Amino acid sequence: MTSSQTIADAPTVACCAPGVQPIGDEHAADLARVFKALGDPARVKLFSLIIASESGEMCVCDLTDPVGLSQPTVSHHMKLLVDAGLVTREQRGRWAYYAPTPGPLLAAVRHLAKQ
């Protein structure tokens, strides 16, 4: 830049222009719900227990001892995982059974990796 040029005359640097369009508000909210659901260590542990289950599902009654939480607290955490689409819930009598649906987590990671 010469002494007669101003900063406004300088060419735009590529680092100032975003190369990728940001995701939309609705999609960002969906991704945030998935990551927020996994933003608590107890929910990460619950999700990992269900994924590792040999039967592919777990009863809420079997989830309390491994995480050291009461059944109502585990049920609250599980509701957040269900709402985020990370697990499904099936009521059988008085007990709820949960099965993993890792698709939303994989989709979120894949989407962010493309950014």
CATH number (domain holding residue 36) = 1.10.10.10
Query: Has this prediction a pTM greater than 0.85?
Result: no
**In this model, does residue 94 exceed pLDDT 70?**
yes
Tokens of 24: 């939309």
What does the alpha-carbon distance between residue 25 and residue 76 come to, in Å, rounded to a whole number?
Answer: 27
> Distance from CA of residue 2 to its chain's centroid?
51
Alpha helix positions (H), 38-102: 41-52, 64-67, 71-83
Calculate mean pLDDT across residues 9-26. Answer: 66
6-15, 31-40, 78-87, 91-100 — which is least confidently predicted? 6-15
Say if 72 falls within a structural domain.
Answer: yes
| Domain presence at residue 22 | no
- What was the pLDDT predicted at 80? 96
Taking alpha carbons only, the member of 17, 3, 23 closest to residue 112 is: 23
Q: Into how many domains does the chain fold? A: 1
Question: Is residue 60 in some structural domain?
Answer: yes
Q: What confidence tens digit (pLDDT) does each residue in 42-93 have?
A: 999 999 999 999 999 999 999 999 999 999 999 999 999 999 999 999 999 9
